[in-house]
Chain A
Amino acid sequence: GESVGLHLPTLSVQEGDNSIINCAYSNSASDYFIWYKQESGKGPQFIIDIRSNMDKRQGQRVTVLLNKTVKHLSLQIAATQPGDSAVYFCAESSQGAQKLVFGQGTRLTINP
């Protein structure tokens, strides 16, 4: 069955370093991907999305990379700040599915 999973449940980085959070998916029909950020006590917040006809998309301090060959998605955060501490979820959707499938989440902690 389809699944979306994350390589690591936790990631610790030094403040100011770049963070890379990875996600693997199994549904070859997936063609739309989203990253969400969930801070403590809040619901998930949209960060960035990408369609399968792209392999890279950039936002403010964030970049999403998509490798369809190996069904891998990553979120890169540049110059990580304390406010980036959160759990990050990837999610995917496919044509006609009309729902998002979420991964388990990676907790990002920032060391001062």
Chain B
Amino acid sequence: ETGVTQTPRHLVMGMTNKKSLKCEQHLGHNAMYWYKQSAKKPLELMFVYNFKEQTENNSVPSRFSPECPNSSHLFLHLHTLQPEDSALYLCASSQDLASASVNEKLFFGSGTQLSVL
């Protein structure tokens, strides 16, 4: 158990559905992240939040909408997704923004396996 909990673990949705992924961290961290993990591709950073403020949007399509109501919770709202969006979506947290200057490590949740039909 890493202290980062993601729900649901699995999600199947149609292209016209609206769903949300939830992440909660119990580590007292200030930064939270959404990553996309597709087969045979490196982990793709999607969004970064630091103290509830979005600090990075890595050119993610608007059909993905993040929300960070507080430093412990992070959501990813999904609507009108495409089949190519099927992937494992990983949430992570770190004490501060991942930075070489402080040897910042990421703590990952187990992910939500998303299938878009």
Asked, given contacts A97-B100, A99-B48, whether A41 binds B56 with beta carbons under 8 Å apart, the answer is: no
Whether a CB of chain A sits under 8 angstroms from the CB of B108 is yes
Complex contact B42–A105 (CB within 8 A): yes
Complex CA–CA separation, A50 to B25 (angstroms): 25
Task: Tell me which residues from 83 to 104 in chain A have a Cβ below 8 Å from any Cβ of chain B.
Answer: 89, 91, 93-104
| Residues of chain B within 8 A of A43, CB atoms compared | 2, 4, 6, 90, 92, 108-111
Complex contact B105–A93 (CB within 8 A): no
| Residues of chain A within 8 A of B45, CB atoms compared | 99-100
A-B contact number at CB 8 A: 69
Question: What are the interface flags for B54-94 relative to A under an 8 Å C-beta threshold, 1 for contact and 0 otherwise?
Answer: 01100000000000000000000000000000000010100
Shortest Cβ distance from A105 into chain B, in angstroms?
7
Task: Tell me which residues from 94 to 117 in chain B have a Cβ below 8 Å from any Cβ of chain A.
Answer: 97-101, 103-111
Complex contact B99–A93 (CB within 8 A): yes
Residue of B at shortest CB range from A94? B100
Shortest Cβ distance from A3 into chain B, in angstroms?
8
Complex contact A46–B48 (CB within 8 A): no
Complex contact A100–B108 (CB within 8 A): no
Which A residues are closer than 8 A to B by beta carbons?
Answer: 4, 9, 30-32, 34, 36, 41-46, 49, 51, 89, 91, 93-105
Which B residues are closer than 8 A to A by beta carbons?
Answer: 2, 4, 6, 40-43, 45, 48, 55-56, 90, 92, 97-101, 103-111
